[in-house]
Amino acid sequence: MAHAETRWESLTPRALEKFITAAFYLTRLQSKYILKSLVMDGRLAYRDRHGRTVIEKSFDRAVRITPRIVLKPPETAFHPEKEDVVIQLRQGASFGTGSHPTTRMALRGIEQALKCIDLNRKSGSAAIDIGTGSGVLGIAAIGLGLDRVVGLDIDACARNEALENARINGFQDQFEVRSASMDAIEEDFDLILANLRLPTLNRILPHLQRVARRPCAMVISGLKTDEIPDLKDMFDFYALKPIWEDTEKGWAAVVFRG
- Residue 254 is predicted with a pLDDT of 98
Bridge-based pairing of strands 251-257 and 212-224 is antiparallel
d(CA 62, CA 78): 7
pLDDT at 203: 95
The tens digit of pLDDT for each residue in 214-231 reads 889 999 999 999 999 999
pLDDT digits (tens, 9 = 90+) for 65-111: 999 999 998 888 888 888 999 999 987 655 667 778 999 999 999 99
pTM, 2 dp: 0.79
Measured between alpha carbons, how far is 68 from 114 in angstroms, rounded to an integer?
A: 12
pLDDT at res. 1: 33
pLDDT in tens, 159-200: 999 999 999 999 999 999 999 899 999 999 999 999 999 999
The torsion defined by the Cα of 101, 235, 226 and 242, in degrees rounded to 10, comes to: -60
